[in-house]
Chains A and B, each alone.
Chain A
């Protein structure tokens, strides 16, 4: 895994190698220029001491400004190149990750939680970008400054250099030791932060029990304890964290003092000039940053590398469902067939030996209790999953032999859980089409899905934004929008996976009536809990624990007196109860208001949660 992460790292690196190397060269150049001004300062001091003409001081001072300007330009350009390259890498990586994820099969997203993927695409990507950006920048800058400064110091005074360089490892070692301690304390604090969050979360989630048992005060006390421990650990961390800067200042101070003292003795004995002494102190100031930066650099690379490995996990995942190597280039008519299909999620078998055939233009309905495998069955047709055994065929050709694009274009699918995108309604309905949906198509699809009347109430009609920043649709509206979306695609095969569950029975029958018109030439497969949805299908399959328990037409199945007939009786009772609700609702309506629409007779009020929500 590490080796592929390495190749990923170098891959992006080499693609922007020129920019990165240019940046590094520029920064190195800046570091080289940075060691020149101290020479000028030393010279100025010596000149002043020697009473040299003022002109030479002017020249040196202006020279200093010139070098500093050049340095600033080089450094600015260098930093820009490197940081920009890191942003480009981030941009490319983000695109590559999405592009890769789009090819992944559905099961992958069920195993990898979306939250986890998002964390990788945000936090880990940031850490990797920082590795390419500040990581590279700091490594270059720090190394170059270190090398050039020490070289210059050696030129000035070897003895002083050795003395101060002895301090360096002491400094680095003590920072390392403090850093380790800080890290440990920080982790302890983080753990307590976790406990604090957990305690709060538990309390807020269980607030009913807390209140029911008057546990507020004990809970406050318990939270107080966790809170106090958090404070204790935070202060504990501060005890070590607070050491870093004083220690840093002390070490630099001691180095300067050592230079002044030892250098002072040398100056008095004539081994070195005061100017050289000052020049040396200037180098010490240059060195203070690299001394602490090394810890920071290690940190950036460690985090960046760990993050890169987590991103690599995504890149390494292979799509289990992909285009065939030798695809069949064929138009789809719409005959759907399964032969001895067995399908399992992991070790749980959900479909056993399922076989059926729907001719092009035919209709099939699937009913059965929750967990009987209905959704899994229809999922196999557009290859959201692949069957382990048996064959799923369209027009007699195994679905795995179609290019995914051809297959999925031919299938209009309305999933059980409606997912709409935060785009205008128009785009949601036209989601499956390459070009924008013509107005008449849009109106037609909305009419079929019985969405058109709702749209009239929306603030901007079909241009109304869907989702949190627009209109929040009710469950029924969402389902109808999803139906419109599938119909607008003009598919050869239409699959409704329990897609009318939140739609009231009246609207449902209206939709079904219109769909029958649309589907005359097309194949339809309808999954439902409701008998009313499926009773007109050419064939009805009753699934039970993954097997086809019964099959036949509505009448034949009723006659059989099995599971289907049982379901039917139950639903009749339910409807009876609903009639009663209607009655009540009706009375209430009459009693409370009198603004019922005269033209449109509704057999029953929409259920709870189905009422049209106005613009938010």
Chain B
């Protein structure tokens, strides 16, 4: 697949099937949970709301001052009711006031938008971190079920949608309401009759908005579905182009695509109509409202019941009256997207940590390193047993190789000892204690794991060995590297231990990564070592030799469980456990098992000897 889809709860959803976000625009339960994250910033939210109140006042003021300029300065001066000089001085005075209000308005607007942005960002910083923290402690079975891409979408895009909600949604809804309120109050104070005339436009405007929004929403929904179809078809066709060409399906594929594409175009017609007519219709409504104002205002002015300034103030306020109404409709989409995002985020946060620490953990003062599988049965999926009644004990300091064909359950043994999964039946004991009675930290501190595909974190060579454990000194890092024969290639790197390695360790060879992982394991000096040592064909002979040597040294003196691939490794262990279809079928030394001519013998012939030949 090309892209990671963001399919919410419903299956993977395919790469180009968009999330259905036409849910509710307001969900009280979600909102309460969201507000919980804003609560620590209550102070700033209150300040922000106060700023909004002041801002709405400064937005209504200019038309009123303009009215005074006309009614108190210009009109009387023109009409010779006051001397020209007086008119000019009043003009200057009002002008200065106007300018002061303008400046105050700008400052308030800026301060308010910045403050809201900060609140949104910081509140969601907390949520994002909480989500990340929660994910850290979810069991591996969760990660088996959820593709990385989906988790990424949750922690990046979905949280960003919530930031939008806090900083542009909720607060500005209050902003719009305040402005609308201020405008209406100002109008009522200026002239109650003219105010009522203006308010007549309100139902018209709301009706128009609802009508067009509905039209667009239906249309957008149809478009989204069809666009997803077009893109899914396109994606599939491109991915399977060789089949299309081999089966000479080009004309029919094109025909079907054209149908989908045309269908998408047709679905657009409604949206185009809505998009092209909405703005002109609103403009026309505004013009009608103005005309109504002039008709009514003109009459009353002619009757001497109103000043020209008042009429003009209304004319200017109409603009301020329209904008919040239109804005509020706009907010609907933000709210809707945010509700869908918050639902997905919270669903993730509600995923239970099925593997947790016990309430009263057993403290292991000293770990010897005896590992015992006590009749363990395990399945990743209910009923689909991977291990059946596995029962064996590995003494402290003993080294054991686990062999078996692919799918025999070898990897599961390693995962279970680290308690990445919990067993369904039986127990796993460390020095006689059920590992479920230990803190995961304590358990894992004593276990060194080397995985099949050694994972390299972005950072330096040194940071990849010590990970984030600052108690591991530079000397210990070097000593660990030297011990596992990694020092040779590290010393050849341009910056030595401080060489920056990129994501997924792309600049290191597979063999080098393996050595580095060995170094990491030994730096933590674990009592128990688990090594997943599967076939790596791309390792050169010299590195191969280094790896074998290192592995041998690593295993010395500590309990070691190796999923072995190399013959040299199995020949050197104390004991071999042969797994077959989830059961232990044979145990013994290399020699004993060969003599027995059982499963191991055949595995040996097939895997190990053949490899020696090749």
> Could you tell me which A residues sit within 8 Å of B by CB distance?
30, 37, 41, 44-45, 47-49, 51, 54, 57-58, 60-62, 64-65, 68-69, 71-73, 75-80, 83-84, 87-88, 90-91, 94-95, 98-99, 101-104, 106, 109, 113-115, 117-118, 121-122, 193, 196-216, 218-224, 227-228, 230-231, 234-235, 238-239, 242-243, 245-247, 249-250, 253-254, 256-257, 260-261, 264-265, 267-270, 274, 277-278, 285, 382, 384, 404-405, 408-409, 411, 413, 415, 419, 421-422, 431-432, 434, 468-469, 485, 489, 570, 573-574, 576-577, 580-581, 584-585, 588, 608, 616
Contacts and interface: CB of A to CB of B under 8 A. Distances in A.
Contacts of A415: 242-243, 246
A211 B444 contact: yes
A219 B468 contact: yes
Given A207-B143, A223-B132, A267-B74, A247 B106 contact: yes
Interface string B438-449: 001100110101
B298 A574 contact: no
A489 B247 contact: yes
A61 B290 CA distance: 8
Contacts of A41: 290, 294, 315
B444 A212 contact: yes
20 contacts: A41-B290, A41-B315, A44-B298, A45-B308, A45-B311, A47-B298, A49-B308, A61-B294, A71-B284, A91-B264, A98-B254, A200-B132, A206-B457, A211-B444, A224-B132, A235-B118, A249-B109, A254-B99, A384-B242, A574-B606
Interface string B140-152: 1001000010011
B457 A202 contact: yes
B246 A384 contact: yes
A115 B15 CA distance: 10
A76 B91 contact: no
Contacts of A113: 2
Contacts of A99: 254
A190 B283 CA distance: 37
Interface of B: 2-3, 11-14, 16, 62, 66, 69-70, 73-75, 77-78, 84, 87-88, 91-92, 95, 98-99, 102-103, 105-107, 109-110, 113-114, 117-118, 121-122, 125, 128-129, 132-133, 135-137, 140, 143, 148, 151-152, 155-156, 163, 230-232, 234-250, 252-254, 257-258, 261-262, 264-265, 268-269, 272-273, 275-277, 279-281, 283-284, 287-288, 290-292, 294-295, 297-299, 301-302, 308, 311-312, 315, 319, 405, 407, 418, 420, 440-441, 444-445, 447, 449, 451, 455, 457-458, 467-469, 503-504, 520, 524, 580-581, 583, 599, 602-603, 605-606, 610
A98 B121 contact: no
A242 B114 contact: yes
Contacts of A223: 129, 132
B455 to A, nearest CB: 4
B136 A193 contact: no
B595 to A, nearest CB: 18
A102 B244 contact: yes
A229 B98 CA distance: 41
B13 to A, nearest CB: 8
Contacts of B69: 260, 264
Interface of A is mostly: helix
A349 B418 CA distance: 46
B248 A64 contact: no
A240 B468 CA distance: 37
Contacts of A432: 246-249
A268 B78 contact: yes
Given A83-B276, A204-B151, A231-B125, A106 B245 contact: yes
B50 to A, nearest CB: 17
Given A101-B238, A200-B155, A79 B276 contact: yes
A117 B261 CA distance: 17
B245 A384 contact: yes
Contact of A577 (B155, B280, B283, B602): B602
A436 B231 CA distance: 25
Contact of B236 (A106, A422, A576, A581): A422
B457 A65 contact: no
Contacts of B74: 264, 267-268, 274, 277
B78 A80 contact: no
Contact of A65 (B288, B451, B458): B288
5 A-B pairs closest in CB distance: A218-B468, A68-B287, A79-B276, A238-B117, A115-B2
A83 B275 contact: yes
A212 B447 contact: yes
B469 to A, nearest CB: 8
B605 A211 contact: no
A247 B105 CA distance: 10
Given A41-B294, A79-B280, A207-B143, A408 B235 contact: no
B295 A80 contact: no
B250 A57 contact: no
Contact of A231 (B121, B272, B308, B319): B121
A64 B284 CA distance: 10
A215 B125 CA distance: 21
Contacts of A73: 280
Contacts of B155: 196, 200
B268 to A, nearest CB: 5
B117 to A, nearest CB: 4
A285 B140 contact: no
Contacts of B602: 573, 576-577, 580
B246 A382 contact: yes
A174 to B, nearest CB: 12
B276 A573 contact: no
Nearest to B243: A419
Given A114-B239, A431-B247, A65 B319 contact: no
Contact of B295 (A57, A72, A277): A57
Contacts of B610: 570
Contact of A261 (B95, B301, B420, B469): B95
Contacts of B151: 200, 204
A109 B503 contact: no
Nearest to A86: B272
Contacts of A485: 247
B136 A219 contact: yes
